[in-house]
Amino acid sequence: MGSKNKLKRFKENLNFKNLFQPSRGNLIENHFELKGKWNSFFKNDNPIVLELGCGKGEYTTELAKSNPKNNYIGIDIKGARIWKGAKESNLFGLDNVAFVRTQIELIDKIFFENEVSEIWITFPDPQIKIQRKKHRLINSSFLSLYKKILKKGGLINLKTDSEYLHGYTLGLIEAMGIEPIFSNHDIYSNNNAPSEVLEIKTFYEKKFIDSKKITFLKFKFD
């Protein structure tokens, strides 16, 4: 994407009422006004579902269309990508959708403890090199953050084409004494895979669906 298109999208992002772009400094100082008050934005007390590293927000918007009684929030640091989800949700009049442009490691500055009901992580960079381990959206530090903001029994969903990340995550949760609710290494060959996993395909997934097996893992903290 050219720099002119990016600048155009960044400018348009400023006009989306459902896209929030708090500064890192304000978040660290706990100055984000919607923390613990997302019900005031959505004007209801419906469950909050996150898509972390949402990219273009495909899961955020598609899940919102199918489940109007849930509120969906996509989080990503890439403003030019998140623009697509924000624009589409406005075009479709999805009042149960919001986006936050920030780093995932700051989510406990965006949500109170026990404020979130479910988390989706779709096709994150597996960060296979050991020196990149701290950047994986699934590692012990991030799991601690997720557990902090999730309600008791809150769900985590991981959809990926990385067998490595799938297996790594299984090992992590098993070491924590957590039994997966659902785990499969090839969901399109499994008749029991959840419908939302099969029916919603990201731009990335569509590019590789014929050449790679797609895995899915669902679990919750006790």
Residues recognised as catalytic: 125
Crossing angle of the two packed helices 58-66 and 79-91, in degrees rounded to 10: 20
d(CA 138, CA 141): 8
d(CA 42, CA 20): 14
Of the candidates 173, 175, 165, the one whose C-alpha atom is nearest the C-alpha of residue 129 is 165
Q: Which two tokens mark 186?
A: 């090839």
d(CA 31, CA 102): 14
d(CA 189, CA 177): 28
CA distances from 104 to 40, 76, 97, 142, 183 (A): 22, 7, 18, 9, 24
Reduce the DSSP state of residue 33 to 3 states and report it.
Answer: coil
Give the bridge partners for 157, in sequence order. 120, 218
Sequence letter at residue 98 = A
What dihedral angle (degrees, nearest 10) is formed by the CA atoms of 203, 205, 210, 125? 130
Which residue shows structure tokens 């499969």? 184
